[in-house]
Structure 1
Amino acid sequence: MGWTRRAVLASGALALSGCSASLRAGPNTAQSTIGGGVDATVGFGGDAMLGRSVTDRWAGRDAAGVWGGLRSRLQSLDGFVCNLECCISEGGERWPDKVYYFRAAPDFAVPALEAAGTSCVSLANNHALDFGESALSDTLGHLDDAGIGAAGAGPDREAALEPAVVRAGEVTVAVVALTDQFRPYRAGLASPGTAYLRLDTGAERTLREVRSALSRAREADPDLVVASLHWGPNWVIAPDRTQQRLARWLVDRGVDVVHGHSAHVLQGVEVYRGRPILYDTADIVDDYVVKESLHNDRSALFELVVEDGQFAGVRVVPVVIEDETVGPTDGDAAEWVRDRVRTLSGEFGTPMERDGSALWIPLADR
């Protein structure tokens, strides 16, 4: 496949011209409304690693099986956003001198993403070019053909920083995807790659490029602006101060959801000016070795709930990844997830309530 400008982006301005209600008047607001009467639930998952043994298990079978018992819940959402931690291709050559290479078979990965009701994926990560520029091009083409939005990588720097604009029920979502992982994959002015940046409010170039990306996102008059960030080291259970400063800076400039991933483990949730900062949403599916001290096989689906045009809250739904399959969980595993999220979010004073096997984080009064 050759390089493609994703149709969801190229037609975005026309498709969204009839959108009736914008989330905000502009940057630096904390208004928690979309518009009267709008109800929607948008799900956020962490890393979806569909390569290696995940592809080996599910290719040639019912691709939807990778979602296990979580499938019906995903399909009930109005939209789903995750980080695609692999390329989707049958070709390409390995990038030299890497340890891990993730590539998923198109005849499995695309139907799997469709079965989850995936609206948009982030490609701003350290695996998008594992099999070179041709595999990245294939990935973008397969996603485009499936009508799945993609942000964070492209044929050049401008395309990599271009927001994806998608619909989630009655809500228009603009996704800006960025990463501070693996600089060699960085897109150049005229070369393919990822939206790699130094994710630090002390980096003036970063602030300039992110402001520009957010400005382009606002041109689509979205109801919801998401910053999907593949950031920070693996196996760390708390964000550092640099990440916290950047997350709040983003919210101050009109971002509604900070969607973090990369650590492969859950981190805390902060509610800042009525907006959720999901510092790390861990993994939604993978084939990784389980570190018993971290329980990286225990994760969560994060659901942003909009009721009557108001940001009502975020529901944290415990899940377990086992045998290349993800599913909802209860009992001890769910209790562990709830305790972990509650404890790690305590530093930020985040209110939480029990909601069946899940947690509920209210936003309306924050």
Structure 2
Amino acid sequence: MYSRIGLTGDVMLGRLVDQYHQQRPVVAVWGDLLDQLRALDGLFINLECCLSNRGEPWQRTQRAFHFRADPDWAVPALERAGVDCCALANNHILDFEEEALRDTLDHLDARNIAYAGAGRTRAEAFEPALVTVNELDVAFVSFTDNTPEYAATETSPGTAYVEIDIGDEETRAAVQETLNRAREHDPDLVIASLHWGPNMVEEPPDTFQKFGRWLIDEGVDIIHGHSAHIFQGIEVYRGRPILYDTGDFVDDYAVDERLRNDRSFLFEVVVSPTGDLSELRLQPTEIHDRSVHEADDEAAKWSRGRMRDLSTPFGTSFERDGEQLVVDFNS
């Protein structure tokens, strides 16, 4: 049986999204994509907020934005969409201090939603998550180079912070240790989720390209990038996809009319029963009404064209299947 694994960019359920959806059915935030999300065999997201009603906004260093969602609706919303695992290594998981981070971990644990990239200690933050998708064992690891002050320590909660530089010995040691722990479970598939780089950057720098390829050389099967708020191009390296940035999936952000941070894709990797990657499918999406939706014809056409242009330098070509773009790993 082939497995369909979905990956999304930033899922930010706080601020205006939180205010709006507290008065609506918990599934409304997924718009008309709910059935597609639930039909996936596995769903992995970057959760760009904490899940808590407690904590005070981080004031130890300058922070322009603080994202927190009411767990009474947000946690059931994740569950109803079929979210299996959350990347938590990002620059918002500690926005309401350690109390809210601990609440987030507790809420996810209570709903059996796996997570990686943040924890109560540094060891926990760097621990891989293990998820079973159909009969596939998936190891999921999560790192970030954003907000070093959010980094977990041996005794305090925080994120799995690393420098995105394969020449950095500390980074190599931390990442390799995490991957070694993942391999101890003999997974069929390894996904590395990276919240890397600044906002609104259209192309990955050379350092990110080298880092993504190095991770695949180290045994990672899928690179799940995010942080720029806009999608970037896709590279296929040694038959494995590097999604340099998956953009934004749902949020309340102001829209840049040129870069269109309200447009992205639901990224779906089709995997064989033996763990071999078969194809990558991209379903165009757009954000409006503080929810995610299938993109309309104009938005879908723009996103497909933009993705083709951004991926051409990597030699990546796409087939068209209805509204979707498809990369065939066997061609």
TM range (shorter): over 0.9
Q: How far apart, CA to CA, are the structure 1 residues paired with 2:251 and 2:296? A: 20
Alignment of 1:8-157 (within 5 A): 38-96=1-59, 97-157=62-122
1:170 Cα deviation after fit:
2.1
* TM-score, length-scaled by structure 2: 0.97
Structure 1 residue 362 and structure 2 residue 328: aligned?
yes
SS for the counterpart of 2:153 is coil
2:293 is matched with which residue: 318, 322, 327? 327
* TM-score, length-scaled by structure 1: 0.88
Deviates more, 1:164-173 or 1:211-220: 164-173
Counterpart in 1 of 2:196?
A: 231
Q: How far apart, CA to CA, are the structure 1 residues paired with 2:287 and 2:75? A: 20
SS for the counterpart of 1:236 is coil
Query: What code does the residue aligned with 2:320 have?
Result: R
Query: What code does the residue aligned with 2:98 have?
Result: E
1:132 Cα deviation after fit:
0.3
Q: Deviations over 1:191-230 (max 9, x none)?
A: 1110011011010100011000000011111111000000
1:172 Cα deviation after fit:
1.5
SS for the counterpart of 1:284 is strand
Alignment of 1:195-214 (within 5 A): 195-214=160-179
1:276 is matched with which residue: 238, 241, 246? 241
Q: How far apart, CA to CA, are the structure 1 residues paired with 2:24 and 2:322? A: 33
For structure 2, list consecutive stretches of 5 or more residues without a partner in the other structure.
none
Q: How far apart, CA to CA, are the structure 1 residues paired with 2:108 and 2:272? A: 30
Query: What code does the residue aligned with 1:48 have?
Result: V
Counterpart in 2 of 1:299?
A: 264
1:218 is matched with which residue: 177, 183, 188? 183
Q: How far apart, CA to CA, are the structure 2 residues paired with 1:351 and 1:215? A: 33
Structure 1 residue 353 and structure 2 residue 319: aligned?
yes
1:60 Cα deviation after fit:
4.1
Q: Please list every run of at least 4 consecutive aligned residues from structure 1 whose deviation after the TM superposition is greater than 6 angstroms.
A: none
Kept in 1, the 8 Å contact 2:125–2:158? The answer is yes
Over the aligned positions, Cα root-mean-square deviation in angstroms equals 0.9
Q: Bigger relative contact order, structure 1 or 2, given CA contacts below 8 A and separation 6+?
A: 1
Percentage identity across paired residues of the two chains = 53
Alignment of 1:146-185 (within 5 A): 146-185=111-150
Q: How far apart, CA to CA, are the structure 2 residues paired with 1:224 and 1:63? A: 31
Query: What code does the residue aligned with 1:217 have?
Result: A
SS for the counterpart of 1:212 is helix
Query: What code does the residue aligned with 2:291 have?
Result: T
SS for the counterpart of 1:188 is coil
1:330 Cα deviation after fit:
3.6
Kept in 2, the 8 Å contact 1:84–1:122? The answer is yes
Q: How far apart, CA to CA, are the structure 2 residues paired with 1:165 and 1:238? A: 31
Kept in 2, the 8 Å contact 1:342–1:352? The answer is yes
SS for the counterpart of 2:241 is strand
SS for the counterpart of 1:312 is strand
Q: How far apart, CA to CA, are the structure 2 residues paired with 1:53 and 1:219? A: 42
Q: How far apart, CA to CA, are the structure 2 residues paired with 1:58 and 1:167? A: 30
For structure 1, list consecutive stretches of 5 or more residues without a partner in the other structure.
1-37
Q: How far apart, CA to CA, are the structure 2 residues paired with 1:93 and 1:364? A: 51
Kept in 2, the 8 Å contact 1:39–1:170? The answer is no
SS for the counterpart of 2:171 is helix
Deviates more, 1:301-310 or 1:124-133: 301-310
Query: What code does the residue aligned with 1:196 have?
Result: Y
Query: What code does the residue aligned with 1:230 have?
Result: H
SS for the counterpart of 1:92 is coil
Kept in 1, the 8 Å contact 2:18–2:70? The answer is yes
Kept in 2, the 8 Å contact 1:60–1:108? The answer is no
Query: What code does the residue aligned with 1:322 have?
Result: H
